[in-house]
Amino acid sequence: MEKIRKSLRESTVARWIALALISLTMFFAYFFVDVAAPLQSLLERNHGWSPETFGMLGGSEFFLNVFAFFLILSGIILDKMGIRFTMITSGLAMVIGGALKYFALTESFAASGLSGWLDSFWVAVPASAKLAFFGFAIFGVGVEMAGITVSKTIVKWFKGKELALAMGLEMAVARLGVFAVFRLSPIFAEKGGVPNSIFWGVAFLLVGFLLFFVYTFMDRQLDKEIGEDTSSEPEESFRISDILLILKNPGFLAIASLCVLFYSAIFPFQKFATDMLASKLDISIKDAAAMFSYFPIGAMVLTPFIGAFLDKRGLGATMMLYGAILLTVSHLIFALVPAHAFTPFIAYATIVILGLAFSLVPASMWPSIPKIVEDRFLGSAYGLTFWIQNIGLLAVPILIGWSLETANPGVAEAIRAGETALKYDYTVPELIFAGFGILAMIMSVVLIRVDRKKGFGLDMPNKAD
């Protein structure tokens, strides 16, 4: 009797163990991404940073990815060198960059000759910020490389199976890292200032790197079973000219444009949300961070259910439009409801609306890309999407920091001088975020029309059976 051999990915247990390993690493990575987000006021008071400097820190994460084209290079490396090589490289970059960011905020750095040298130019920005920018930029190369690698890894294990559910669960676990950072980072800072929070973030990155390393053994075994070469040879036949084919694809252009607009109103907002809530509700930073921590929880809970719905019923393109609408509504509430009427109930309700938007769009968007591009350059398609997204994530935090300082003349100087009663007015920054939401709505409609014309099947179920 003939024995039918099944690959490792046909094992339900193996598939979900692989997903758990890579998802936990992204949990630790997302923790580090926003480890300084609840600490804006401490950086202003204790380290001499301005809101614009704080915004630059958020943007610096994406500097090398955008201007040195590291994200596009990461996608090519992924397609050429394979998942294991790219995964280990991304993990090392995250740890090295995180360690530099931690060192930048320590007393050892402040007393070093490097600090004095960095103070000798670009005097408007503290030396600690300059080194932190550099470290965060290296970390940014690693985390974005990890993001596209994880996306391709999930497709490798789950294509034709529970793809959207798997991607939804991975995003849910990663967002649990955002919940953890808004809960834990202020507590760590109470016991050792901003450097202590960054230190714990680096420790978590080390754990994540070990999990990535463990996963590579599973990936190697899977490649052996499905007959792929496990050396450093290309996983797939990719050509540089394929980038032009991706960029000529109207479906890709529409979904990448929606991606940059949507995420520009989410991730930069996370970095300012704690101080915004503290200012508008007149509460402590710790209480504001605890309140905003529920934002990723809503997304974490809902995203897997939405992913399961998309696998069975479809409606991916339509879900993206609904998410963009909810995104716009939430930011308009933050912007236009006056402080005297902005109660904790309204704040929580708006955070829930934003969390729902953050569930609908990513859960629909990432599983849609394999429907639009060929498998052989899927890694490069993810890399290009992240690169375009990173342009917004680089520029928008700087724009928000500048607009906040410009719309509140004299407030930043008073806070650095020790004034505790003054608060920022976040109306202008929130209107900017709402503007991105409106543009995302428009691009969602464009994507739906392109899908109907080209027949990508974005509203069709993801599961093959």
Q: How far apart are CA 401 and CA 56, in angstroms?
A: 8
Helices 193-226 & 127-158, crossing angle to 10 degrees?
30
Range of the domain at 290: 11-228+240-454
Would you state the pLDDT for residue 229?
44
Q: Which residue has the tokens 């969602």?
A: 444
Would you state the pLDDT for residue 461?
86
Residue 161 belongs to some domain of the structure: yes
CATH of residue 66's domain is 1.20.1250.20
Residue 111 belongs to some domain of the structure: yes
Around 447, how many Cα atoms within 13 Å sit in the side-chain half-sphere?
Answer: 32
Would you state the pLDDT for residue 334?
97
Residue 284 belongs to some domain of the structure: yes
Residue 459 belongs to some domain of the structure: no
Whether the CB-CB separation of 373 and 246 falls below 8 Å is answered with yes
Exposure class string for 266-290: b at 16+ Cβ within 10 A, else e: bbbbbbbbbbbbbbbbebebbebbb
**Segment 406-457, tens digit of pLDDT:** 999 998 888 877 787 788 999 999 999 999 999 999 999 999 999 999 999 9
Q: What residue spans of 191-241 are helical by DSSP H? A: 193-226
Return the number of other C-beta atoms located less than 10 Å from residue 357's C-beta.
27
Nearest to 171 by CA among 296, 282, 50: 296
Would you state the pLDDT for residue 233?
42
Burial (Cβ within 10 Å: 0-12, 13-18, ≥19) of residue 227: exposed
163 Cβ contact partners less than 8 Å away, ≥ 6 residues apart: 154, 155, 311, 367, 370, 462, 463
Would you state the pLDDT for residue 165?
84
Q: How far apart are CA 13 and CA 19, in angstroms?
A: 10
Residue 234 belongs to some domain of the structure: no
Q: How far apart are CA 40 and CA 47, in angstroms?
A: 10
Nearest to 29 by CA among 164, 153, 159, 150: 150
Whether the CB-CB separation of 255 and 368 falls below 8 Å is answered with yes
Residue 212 belongs to some domain of the structure: yes
Predicted TM-score (pTM) of the model is 0.80
Whether the CB-CB separation of 29 and 205 falls below 8 Å is answered with yes
Would you state the pLDDT for residue 415?
80
Number of domains in the chain: 1
Nearest to 412 by CA among 113, 94, 41: 41
Q: What residue spans of 61-162 are helical by DSSP H? A: 63-67, 70-81, 83-104, 107-110, 113-118, 127-158
Would you state the pLDDT for residue 232?
40
Residue 32 belongs to some domain of the structure: yes
Question: How far is residue 112 from each of residues 46, 118, 126, 147, 172, measured CA to CA in Å?
Answer: 18, 10, 14, 35, 41
Nearest to 66 by CA among 135, 11, 9, 140: 140
**Residues of the chain predicted below pLDDT 50:** 1-5, 229-236
Residue 435 belongs to some domain of the structure: yes
DSSP state of 49: -
Q: How far apart are CA 273 and CA 28, in angstroms?
A: 20
